[in-house]
Amino acid sequence: MSEIPKHYEPGTTQQQWFPFWEEHGYFNAEPNPDRQPHTIMIPLPNVTGALHMGHALNGTCQDLITRWRRMQGYEALWMPGTDHAGIATQAVVERRMLEEEGLTRHDVGREALVNRIWKWKDAYEKRIVSQQKSLGASCDWRRIRFTLDEVCARAVRKTFFKMFSDGLIYRGKRLVNWDVHLQTAVADDEVFDEEVDGHFWTFNYPVVDDDGNETGERISFSTTRPETMLGDTAVCVHPTDERYTHLVGRKVKIPLNDRLIPIIADGLLADKELGTGAVKVTPAHDPNDYACYQRNPEIGIINILNPDGTLNENAGPWEGQDRYKVRERVVERMAEEGHFEGVEDRKIPIKHSDRSKTIVEPYLSDQWFVKMDDLAQAAIDAVEDGRVRFFPSRYAKTYIDWLAEKRDWCISRQLWWGHRIPIWSRPFDDEARAAVQKLGATFNGEDVTLDGEHAAYVSAVVADGIQPGERLLLVCVDDGHEAIEEQLNAAGFEQDPDVLDTWFSSALWPHATLGWPDTERNPPLNEEEVAKQTAAPAPKPTGDGKGNEVLDYFYPGSVLITSRDIITLWVARMVLTGLYNMGDVPFRHVHVHPKILDGFGQTMSKSKGNGVDPVDLIEKYGADAVRFTIASFAGETQDVRLPISYECPKCETLIPQTIAHQNAKPDEGTKPTVHCPKCKADYQYTSPNYDPDPDVPVARMVSERFEYGRNFCNKLWNAARFAMLNLEGYTEGPVTQDDLQLEDRWILSRLSTVTAQMDEFLGRYQFDAATRAIREFTWNEFCDWYLEMIKPRLRDEAQRPVAQRVLLSVLDSLVRLLQPFAPFICEELWQRLREIAPVRSLPVDDATNVLMPTEVAEACIVASWPQIPAAWRDESLEKRFARLQETIAAVRNVRAIYQIPPGTPIKLLMRATPEVADELQNVSQQFENLAKTVLEAAGADVVRPSGAASFSLGDADGYVPLEGLIDRKKELERQQKELETLRKHVAGHEKKLANENFVSRAPEHVVANVRETLENLRKQLASVEAIIADLQ
C-alpha cells in the first residue's frame, strides 16, 4: 500500500482491467426475468477505415449509459458490430488494388474482388474493435455482428422476400450515373462536379401539321449536348408562356432522323426566363427530363447510348460512334439543314466519376424500389404518438419531414460487395412459365400465384423489361432454398447481378442482431454456432420450446444514440422495418449528440487532414481522460470545436494545426512538415495527402483540450491516494447522526444532491451537465473543502475512526458515480480500496443509523449505483456552510491583498448576531485549519479595531487587525470600489421593486427573492459605508 504513485498511470490500469472485466463476463447480457432489460444497439461503424473522434464521442455516450444502467440493476446489453458499407468499402479496396497492382475489378472478377474485400473487412473490423475496447467499450462482445454475416443475411433475405410477396418491392427504371470508362454505375456521392469548357448551342426544330408537313414555324431551344437530340421525345414549354401556347399539342420534326415529337407544357421543367423558354426533352439521358417523362409518360423514352459511351441503333447512321464524335456530326448536320442558330462558349459544370475521373453519363437502368407509402406513414405515426421520442426533441422534425415525402426507396446498387438481390429472372415465355409452374405457380393473365406451400418461400411477378415490349418473369426466393435456386438456374433464369443498398441491411440491425427471423432459437454467439444454425433452415415452431428469448427480452431497444446526419438514412428506416418485421418500434428513445468539428469549424474527417485518432489521444492522456473530456462536450445544442495540435515527436511540444497544414501536399517529392519551435526542427506529420517516409519520427495529432479530463482523473487519483494513506487502522462500524460533524453532514447533503442530479442528467442524455456536476462535487467540494476540513480529525486518535468511515463512504459513492465516465481509474481505486476495506459504512434509508457496514461488490463495474436518501439533503445546513466558506474566502483574500505570507497567523474578529456568532465559534478550529486564522472574537458587540482590513457578508462583518501592515489608502480604495459595485446592484434592485407592475405581476417568489437580495445588499452597503467612514 505504500506504493501509490503521485500521478495516475492510465496505461497499466487499462491493460489490467479490461481483460478482467471481459473474463468475468461483466459485459455479457442474458435474458433475466428478475431484471429489466436495457438495450443499446451500436450505430454500426463502416469497415471502410479506422474510427475517428465522432465514433469516440458516440461510443462514450453509449458506454456511459450502459454502465450506468448496469449499475442500476438493469440487464444492460450493448450490442456491437460493423457495417459492410457497400459502396465505400468496395471503392476503397478497388482504389488500393488499382494503385498498388494496377488492376481493376474487371481484371480480377467478382469472386476474387469480394474475397479481397472480406480480407479488408477482417483487418479493419479487428482494428475498430480494438479501438473500441481501448476506450473501454463494455459491449457484449460475444454477440458482435456484421451486416454481411450469416445471421444478418438471413434477416435481409427474409425481409426482401416478405416485402416482395407483399407487393412492396417493385422493379422500376431510374437514371444512374454511368461511368463509361469503368462501365459501371456510380453512386451520387462518388461523383464530383467540375467545370469544363463547353458550348451552348441553339438550334430549332420545324413545327409540322397533322400530316407531318412543315408549317414553316420553328421552335428554338438550347443545349450543351446536341447528340442527345437523337433521343428527344418532346419539346417542352411553360404552360403560361404566351409565346408558345398556340403550339402546345402540335408536333415538331427532328431533322436528324425525321422523327415527330410532341410539344408539351410542363411548368416544372420549362422556365420562361431561361434561354428561349423552350427546352428539348431527352428522358433517357437527363434527370430532369426523366422526371418530366414520369409526369408525361405518353411522350415515351429512347435510350441512345451503349454502355461504353458509343451510340446504339437508335442513332441511325451514327451507331457505334463515340458520343463526342456524334456531337460534332450532329451539329454539322443541323447546320447543313439550316436549323443551327448560334453557339457560345461556356463553362459547364459536369459530373465526373470519382474513380475514373472521366465524365459520367446519365443512363437508364432497371432498379429495385421499396414502396414507401404505408411504411413511411407507420414510421411517422410512431414518432408523432410518442412511441419513439427524440432527445433533443427538435430532431423529430428532420425525421418526419423526410419520411413525409414518401419517396420510394431505391434499394439496388450496381456493386459486387453486398447482399445480392434474391431475384431470378428470364424473358417471359413458355419455358419460363413452365419452370415456375413446376414450383406450384398458376398464371391468371399476368398475375402469378403460388400454392400455399411454395408461397412460403417463392414469389413471382411478370414485369416490363428495359426494351420496349420486353416481358420478364421475376422470381424471388427466400433464404435457405438453394434447391429452388438451382432449378431456376437450370431453367435459364439468372440471378440479378446487383446488390442491396447498405441501408437495407443496417435498417434491420435492431432485430437482425437478436436473431430475427429465427423465433425458435437464441441467436448464435460465435462463428461455430453461426455455422451450425445456418446450415439448416430454422426449425418449425413447435410451441413447446422457449423460442428466441434473446429477441423477446431485448427487443425493443431502450435508446439509440447517434449523430444527426443519419436520422433519415438510418434511424427512419430502422423504425420502418422494425414496425414492418417486428410490429414494434426498434427503440423508445433516440438521442442525437453533437458533431465534433476542428478548430476552424470544419467537420472532422480523414480526408480533410483533421481526423484525430482516438487511440493517439488515449495513449497520451488515458482512456478515462478522453472519455471524461468527450462527455463534457456532449450537450444539447452546440457542435463542438476541437482545436488540434501536432505533437513534436521529440519533445512533445504542441504545435497548433493550421489550414495550411491540412491542405499541404508534397511539393516535387518533398513532403510537408511541421516546425517545432522548441527543438528547432521539422517533422513529417500524419496527412491524408501523403504517407510519411518510413522510419522517420512523425508528429501525431492530439488536442490539449483533453488535459481537462486528464487533470480531473489525476485529482480523483490523489484524493483517493490521500484517503488510502489515511485509512491505516481502518475499522468497520456504523456511523450515527450524532457521530457526524458539520462537514460530514454537509458533504453527505451535497452527495445526495449530486447523485440525484446524475440520474436526472443521464436520464435526459445531458452528458455535459452530468460531467460538470460530478466534477464540481469532486474537485470543489470533496477535495477543496471536505478533505481539508477532516485532516485534523484524521490526526486525532479519538475522532479518526468516524472520520475514516465517512471519508471512505463518500469516496465509495464518488467512485461509483464516476465509474460510467472513467471506468478504468474507478476500477483500480475500487480494487485498491477493497483490499483495505471490503466492508464499508454505506448509506441506508434509515433516520437513526445513517451509515451501516456493508460488504461491497467484487468489481466496481457491477457495484450498485448509489442511492443516497433524499432526507440527507439539508438546505439550511448548506446555507450555513456557505457562510463559513465565504468567511474563509474573505480572510484569504485579505491575506493575499496584504501579501501576508501563508505561514503567518492572523486574527479575525466577526461582528454578527448571537446565532451566527455561535455557529462561527463552533467551527473556529477550521479558521485555523483552512486559513491559519485565529477567530479571536465573534458577537454582536464586536467593534472594528483601528488598522484593520474589513469585509462584509451581509449578515456578518469581519475585521482582520493588521496594525502596521495596513495601508490606509489602499484599504480605502478597495472599500470604495466595493461600495460602487454594491451601490450599482442596490440601485438595480430598488428600481425593480419601485416598479408597481413588477411587484403586482411577477410571481411572488421572484419578488420575495429580489427583496431578500436587496436587504442583504443594503446590509453590506451599510457595513462598507461604516468601514469607509471609519477609515477617513
Partner RNA sequence: GGUCCCGUAGCUCAAUUGGCUAGAGCGCCUGCCUUACAAGCAGGAGGUCACAGGUUCGAGCCCUGUCGGGACCACCA
> How many CB atoms are located within 10 Å of the residue 995 CB?
12
Asked whether 283 and 293 are in contact (CB, 8 A), the reply is yes
**Nearest distance from residue 151's CB to RNA, in Å?**
28
Among 2, 3, 6, 694, binds RNA (CB under 7 A): 6
> Looking at beta carbons only, is 466 or 725 nearer to RNA?
725
Report the alpha-carbon distance of residue 294 to residue 292 in Å, rounded: 5
Site string for RNA, 176-205 (x = CB under 7 A): -----------------x------------
For residue 1022, state whether it binds RNA (rule: CB under 7 A): no
For residue 318, how many C-alpha atoms fall within 13 Å in the half-sphere facing its CB? 27
Asked whether 459 and 450 are in contact (CB, 8 A), the reply is yes
Distances (CA, A) of 657 to 43, 52, 53, 608, 987: 30, 17, 16, 12, 49
For residue 640, state whether it binds RNA (rule: CB under 7 A): yes
> Looking at beta carbons only, is 462 or 783 nearer to RNA?
783
User: Strands 340-353 and 360-370, how do they pair?
Assistant: unpaired
Distances (CA, A) of 999 to 608, 989, 1002, 1003, 1006: 58, 12, 6, 8, 9
For residue 220, state whether it binds RNA (rule: CB under 7 A): no
**Nearest distance from residue 620's CB to RNA, in Å?**
10
Which of the stretches 31-39, 445-453, 683-691, 701-709 binds RNA when contact is defined by CB under 7 A? 701-709
Q: Which residues contact 519 (CB under 8 A, 6 or more apart)?
A: 538, 541, 547, 548, 551
> Looking at beta carbons only, is 410 or 934 nearer to RNA?
410
Among 118, 141, 340, 722, binds RNA (CB under 7 A): 722
Asked whether 370 and 409 are in contact (CB, 8 A), the reply is yes
For residue 568, state whether it binds RNA (rule: CB under 7 A): yes
Query: 271: which DSSP letter?
Result: -
**Nearest distance from residue 1014's CB to RNA, in Å?**
7
For residue 7, state whether it binds RNA (rule: CB under 7 A): yes
| Closest CA relative to residue 762, chosen from 751, 752, 774, 750 | 774
For residue 467, state whether it binds RNA (rule: CB under 7 A): no
| Closest CA relative to residue 49, chosen from 111, 136, 121 | 121
Phi and psi at 233, nearest 5°, equal -125, 0
Q: Which of residues 222-251 bind RNA (CB under 7 A)?
A: 222-225
Among 619, 784, 874, 1025, binds RNA (CB under 7 A): 784
Q: Which of residues 791-850 bind RNA (CB under 7 A)?
A: 791
How many residues in the chain?
A: 1032
For residue 1, state whether it binds RNA (rule: CB under 7 A): no
Among 893, 924, 929, 976, binds RNA (CB under 7 A): 893
Asked whether 271 and 239 are in contact (CB, 8 A), the reply is no
**Nearest distance from residue 103's CB to RNA, in Å?**
31
Report the alpha-carbon distance of residue 29 to residue 69 in Å, rounded: 12
Distances (CA, A) of 19 to 25, 61, 82, 338, 654: 10, 21, 22, 82, 33
Q: Which residues contact 344 (CB under 8 A, 6 or more apart)?
A: 199, 200
**Nearest distance from residue 474's CB to RNA, in Å?**
27
Among 196, 651, 882, 897, binds RNA (CB under 7 A): 897
> Looking at beta carbons only, is 11 or 497 nearer to RNA?
11
Query: 539: which DSSP letter?
Result: P
Q: Which residues contact 228 (CB under 8 A, 6 or more apart)?
A: 280, 282, 285, 286, 304
Q: Which of residues 241-300 bind RNA (CB under 7 A)?
A: 269-271, 274-275, 279, 286-288
Site string for RNA, 62-81 (x = CB under 7 A): --------------------
965-992 in b/e burial notation, b at 16+ Cβ within 10 A? ebeeeebeebbeebbeebeeebeebeeb
For residue 83, state whether it binds RNA (rule: CB under 7 A): no
> Looking at beta carbons only, is 938 or 1010 nearer to RNA?
1010
Angle between helices 823-836 and 800-818 (to 10 degrees): 150
Which of the stretches 92-100, 139-147, 254-262, 640-648 binds RNA when contact is defined by CB under 7 A? 640-648
Among 123, 249, 988, 1015, binds RNA (CB under 7 A): 988
Among 719, 751, 818, 942, binds RNA (CB under 7 A): 719
> Looking at beta carbons only, is 27 or 786 nearer to RNA?
786
Which of the stretches 140-148, 368-376, 638-646, 1024-1032 binds RNA when contact is defined by CB under 7 A? 638-646
Q: Which of residues 763-782 bind RNA (CB under 7 A)?
A: 768-769, 772, 779
Which of the stretches 783-791, 821-829, 853-861, 941-949 binds RNA when contact is defined by CB under 7 A? 783-791
Asked whether 757 and 845 are in contact (CB, 8 A), the reply is no
Q: Which residues contact 107 (CB under 8 A, 6 or more apart)?
A: none
For residue 961, state whether it binds RNA (rule: CB under 7 A): no
- DSSP result, 926-991: HHHHHHSEEEEEEETT--PPSSEEEEE-SSEEEEEE-TTT--HHHHHHHHHHHHHHHHHHHHHHHH
Among 105, 661, 895, 911, binds RNA (CB under 7 A): 895
Report the alpha-carbon distance of residue 598 to residue 32 in Å, rounded: 44
> Looking at beta carbons only, is 480 or 954 nearer to RNA?
954
Among 564, 873, 883, 907, binds RNA (CB under 7 A): 564
Which of the stretches 120-128, 170-178, 252-260, 565-573 binds RNA when contact is defined by CB under 7 A? 565-573
For residue 641, state whether it binds RNA (rule: CB under 7 A): yes
Among 607, 899, 904, 1032, binds RNA (CB under 7 A): 899
Q: Which of residues 847-886 bind RNA (CB under 7 A)?
A: none
Q: Is omega for the bond preceding 902 within 30 degrees of 0, making it cis?
A: no
Site string for RNA, 376-395 (x = CB under 7 A): ------------------x-
**Nearest distance from residue 293's CB to RNA, in Å?**
13
For residue 725, state whether it binds RNA (rule: CB under 7 A): yes
Report the alpha-carbon distance of residue 617 to residue 626 in Å, rounded: 7
Site string for RNA, 339-358 (x = CB under 7 A): ---------xx---------
> Looking at beta carbons only, is 271 or 308 nearer to RNA?
271
**Angle of CA points 945, 947, 953, to nearest 5°:** 65
Q: Which of residues 571-600 bind RNA (CB under 7 A)?
A: 595, 597, 599
The helix (run of H) or strand (run of E) holding residue 341 is strand 340-353
For residue 729, state whether it binds RNA (rule: CB under 7 A): no
> Looking at beta carbons only, is 97 or 278 nearer to RNA?
278
For residue 705, state whether it binds RNA (rule: CB under 7 A): yes
**Nearest distance from residue 269's CB to RNA, in Å?**
7
Number of residues that bind RNA (CB under 7 A): 94
Residue type at position 713 = C
Among 410, 455, 659, 783, binds RNA (CB under 7 A): 783
> Dmax of the chain from CA atoms?
120
Among 177, 714, 752, 950, binds RNA (CB under 7 A): 714
> Looking at beta carbons only, is 540 or 1005 nearer to RNA?
1005
Q: Which of residues 477-506 bind RNA (CB under 7 A)?
A: none
Q: Which residues contact 44 (CB under 8 A, 6 or more apart)?
A: 81, 82, 83, 147, 506, 509
Q: Which of residues 117-176 bind RNA (CB under 7 A)?
A: none
Report the alpha-carbon distance of residue 706 to residue 771 in Å, rounded: 14
Among 542, 607, 876, 997, binds RNA (CB under 7 A): 997
